[in-house]
Amino acid sequence: MIEQKIIIHLTDEDSLDIGTLTVSSLDYKGDLESNINISHSLTLDNVPIVDEPDNLTPVQYCPDIGANFAKLMLLEETEYQILFESNDPNANFEVLYSLTKRNDNHFKPFRFKLGDNKQFKIVGTLNFRSYVGKSFLDVRKDGINSIRIPIEVRSKKIDYFSQYSAMIADLSQHSLSLIFEVNSPLYQEFEISTRQKETYYEDFMFLEYLFREENLPSIFEYLSKNLHSQLKNHTETVPILFASNVNQNTLKNIISKPNKLFKTDSHLEIADKLNGYLPYEIEQTKHEDVIDIPENRFFKYFLELIRDLVEKLLENSKEGYIKDKLRYFSDEIEYYLSSKFFNHISAMEFVPFNSQILQKKEGYREIFQYFLMLEFSFRLSWDEINNQFKGFEKKLSELYEYWCYFKLLKVLNDLSIKKVSFEDVFKINKDNWSISIKKGVQSRKRFYLNLYDYDIEIELFYNLRFSDKSQYRSYSLAFKPDYTLLVTIGEYKHYIHFDAKYRSELEIVDFYEKIDVSSTELDKEIEERDNLEEKEYVFKDGDIYKMHTYKDSILKTEGSYVLYPGNKTKRFYESDKIIPSVGAFSLTPGNEEVEEDKLERFIKDVLKTFLFNHGLITLDFVSVAY
């Protein structure tokens, strides 16, 4: 292993010295790199300078990453050694102030003094665990902050620069879809509102949804090539030699102005009709397609509205993922508005609500819907997701858990005869327009399938608790799988469990302690036990141990599986049948379409095996060779 070092000479805004901060990692497996002075305040030792960051190297420097990301890049779930030194032993220092002030416990200083009467020195460890995003390295001295050094904390398990944004956009889309869900209690309850917002997060979620490639970008591309136009007639005066359209009205106009005629020897037909006279110029009617129409003025207005919204959010957002995305949105919308055809479209004077073009024509219809979503005050706040954006970093483990839930819902919806609507997923508080995901028994959603002429019911639960005192029985400990499928075929019932594992457990010893406490304490114990963080990538032995525990302890369980962002699917079988079994399925943002298909086929094969095991069908069921 080779040690990487970041050496930062910290000063305040008046360039007064505060001290030296050294961040080092012993996990680097690459080649030796030269000692490089990036600036008078930043020195890198064994830190590779790269064009594109990876998700393996503990420290990288990426000078061309662009203005939206920090050039100095660290890694989640990686331990860094911290050393801060100052020649002022009597000052009061708060090391890594931006991190410690939010009580995330990323930085843990050692609990003994290393300095002396001439020097202040503190050492400790820094680990972002499963938090990613932009943050800062800084020190506060006697209440005065040093200049902050921005860092970007990358993900180990998903591509931070593409897959992470895809996951956030997916989550945004699910909550925003409530406004167009016919069965949603919010569908017809939106009114134009002028009240000041307490948070702009719902607007940011709207923008995340709007700028997905299949939404505004593709619609703009389509409309820019298929702008609706109208045929308009206008009269223009041209010299007689350039006349191209002479009709009865033209002749009447000529006769009414005899003072503009002159004698000619021309044998033109019009001269013969006018006894050898011709006009110097004539007025003729011209037909022209014009794009300066109300619908296109509305299109331009909507883009200007989005530009203004992005600018407002930029003014009210702090450094981090949200501000980075807003800068990207700003660049995109300016690019759209720079299109030349907008020079021929004037300002909108009124919203053409009654326009059939806006209501029905492809492209315009979608723009009109986006306008209604924005202008009709979409103020829903998704509590669980909103909470993850209060600091600079986002806890991917929790965001990934919600994302997997919607992917599992989609798989079951694709299989089911009866579809689940969004009102079945969210719990809606109309008093403050907030939403949260239903959990436990309240989260039950029913799907119905007909397979080989047999009716099958699947109930999906989110965070359903099993214990020896519940109707959902575990004969030993209390457990709360992330997602539970209860399959009912006639009189037979079976459980299948899934856990989203962005992280794994460091310890599983406490996993087997018997507990006999109240429901509140029970939930707290389960949460504390399940929130242990992992330090390594992909699913671990501890994940499979836990799946065995679900299968062996929760009555009527036939299978338990991990969902994790990776590239390997692995299952372990008791026999030559699909079930009983445990294992792990890869489910990665940006690659979910193929993986959803595999998960859907697996669930169908599990159902076939249930039918076979109960003697309801006789066929070559799918074996472990599947």
Place 560 in a pLDDT band, splitting at 50, 70 and 90. Answer: very high
Place 118 in a pLDDT band, splitting at 50, 70 and 90. Answer: confident
The per-residue pLDDT of the chain, averaged, comes to 80
For residue 124, what are the CA distances in angstroms to 24, 85, 121, 620?
Answer: 11, 12, 11, 60
pLDDT recorded at residue 282: 72
- Give me the mean pLDDT over the 72-98 stretch: 91
pLDDT recorded at residue 385: 63
pLDDT recorded at residue 577: 85
Token pair for 152? 């970007």
pLDDT recorded at residue 505: 35
Higher pLDDT, 529 or 23: 23
Q: Is the per-residue pLDDT at 83 higher than 80?
A: yes
Q: 78-92, 185-199, 221-235, 435-449: which range is least confident on average?
A: 185-199
Predicted TM-score (pTM) of this structure? 0.67
> Which tens digits make up the pLDDT trace of 580-595?
999 999 898 877 788 8
* DSSP secondary structure, 499-566, as one string: EE-SS--S--GGGG------HHHHHHHHHHHHTPPP-SSS--HHHHHHHHHHHHHBTTEEEEEEEESS
Q: Is the per-residue pLDDT at 67 higher than 70?
A: no
pLDDT recorded at residue 130: 77
Q: Is the per-residue pLDDT at 185 higher than 90?
A: no
Q: Is the per-residue pLDDT at 46 higher than 90?
A: yes
Higher pLDDT, 56 or 520: 56
Within 8 A by CB and 6+ apart from 215, the residues are 209, 366, 370
pLDDT recorded at residue 387: 57
Q: How far apart are CA 135 and CA 105, in angstroms?
A: 14
Counting beta carbons within 10 angstroms of the beta carbon of residue 38, is it exposed (0 to 12), middle (13 to 18) or buried (19 or more)?
middle
Residue closest to 76 by CA, chosen among 142, 151, 145, 14 = 151
> Which tens digits make up the pLDDT trace of 128-139?
887 787 788 999
